[in-house]
Amino acid sequence: MPGKVKCIGILTGGGDCPGLNAVIRAVVKDAVQNGIQVIGIRDGCRGLGDKHMAALGPGDGSNILTLGGTILGSSNKDNPFHLIEKDKSGKIHYHDRSRDIPKNLRRVGIEAMVILGGDGSMTVANKLSHMGLKIIGVPKTIDNDLMGTDQTFGHDTAVSIATEAIDRLHTVADSHHRVIIVEIMGRYAGWLALRSGIAGGGDIILIPEIPYDEKKVGEAVLERRRKGKKSSIVVVAEGAHPKGGKMVVDRINPFSAERIRLGGISRQLAHHLEAKSGVETRSVILGHVVRGGTPTAFDRNLATLFGVQAMNLISKGQFGRMVALRNNRMSSVPLVQVGGKTRKVPANHELIRAAKSIGVSFGA
């Protein structure tokens, strides 16, 4: 039997999303029930270097189930193995500060850590695990693109928010007989655009996994008009791109672990579509709005299950693993199988087949 862990640390890394606080709540409440102290690490991995940590008591796990974001703060810029620092002249330097982490944790008595995050955070978690630290990962991302789990918390809420936005845009498009192109986050995977596009009644859905033909997108719009449909909704993932073309990059952020920031494909496509078809076209970029607000009931339940499963793994001494939902059951996978990989939509996914069966175009 593994020795009982008496003190754990918990941090939220990467971008925020609904459900983070629900996981924190579950971990704290479970730990309190079992006499385990919990220390919150502020602002993601930055807190590991700054020694910015504070104990979380029973009260810290109360009344946060419905809150979006994270009470611990987060950061997607502070990889302790490749930390970006500026000197007095403004010159950028990269440093490996990971060697300071074990002593910082020992200083406050942390014996094991629960790390909530996406692929970048899981990559860091895996490296820390290989350093001998006791690490449990919890999968978080609205994009649902993390390997090893069928779903991540935060995704269902983002789908619901994006769907509501698409619902509202139908009336605008109908009133003015326009095409409205709705751009949705998701990076290099199309889960968010696909699910919200179908739920919101999108007429054309464009995702990274299916490069589109601009001519066929235009033909789909014109065919709808010939059938008496005066408006069309195009749902496009930020990582979608035409055949033979590239994803549209909004900017490069050298200070972020995720340097490439996608964005703008909807504007580019709107200009092209209007010029070629003559149909008035507008673009809407939902952006970060889909990442905020109150988590859905599904995400609250999933986050709670993940938090409790993380504590179960700690009690069993099963470290170096990420909790997961697989075949509708709680499970876990080795961290080495997760970080740095992207779970994309399979070309034969049942949602794609269903969408095509009801006349949705993928521009291919």
Domains and CATH numbers, the chain: 7-153+295-337 (3.40.50.450), 156-291 (3.40.50.460)
Q: Report the alpha-carbon distance of residue 157 to residue 255 in Å, rounded.
A: 28
pTM of the predicted model as reported, rounded to 2 decimal places = 0.94
pLDDT at residue 1 is higher than 70: no
State the Cα–Cα distance between residues 322 and 106, nearest whole angstrom: 23
pLDDT of residue 193: 98
Active site residue 143: yes
Q: Which two tokens stand for residue 43?
A: 């602002």
Encode pLDDT of 266-277 as tens digits.
999 999 999 988
pLDDT band at 322 (very low <50, low <70, confident <90, very high): very high
Cα(38)–Cα(98) distance, rounded to whole angstroms? 22
* Residue type present at position 91: K
Nearest 5°: phi and psi at 241? -155, 155
- Cα pseudo-dihedral 274, 270, 155, 53, rounded to 10: -160
Total Cβ atoms within 10 A of residue 77: 16
Band of residue 71 on the pLDDT scale cut at 50, 70, 90: very high
Residue 184 neighbours by CB under 8 Å, 6+ apart = 162, 192, 193, 196, 197, 235, 236, 237, 238, 286, 290
For 258, other C-beta atoms within 10 Å of its C-beta total: 15
Active-site annotation holder among 60, 78, 143, 203? 143
For 84-109, give the DSSP string. EEE-TT--EEEE--GGGHHHHHHHHT
What is the reported pLDDT for 296?
Answer: 98
Residues forming a β-bridge with 86: 92
DSSP 211: P
When pLDDT is cut at 50, 70 and 90, the band that residue 198 belongs to is: very high
pLDDT of residue 255: 66
Asked if residue 256 has pLDDT above 80, the reply is no
Cβ atoms of 286 and 184 within 8 Å: the answer is yes
pLDDT at 2 over 60: no
- 247 three-class SS: coil
Mean pLDDT calculated for residue range 234-245:
96
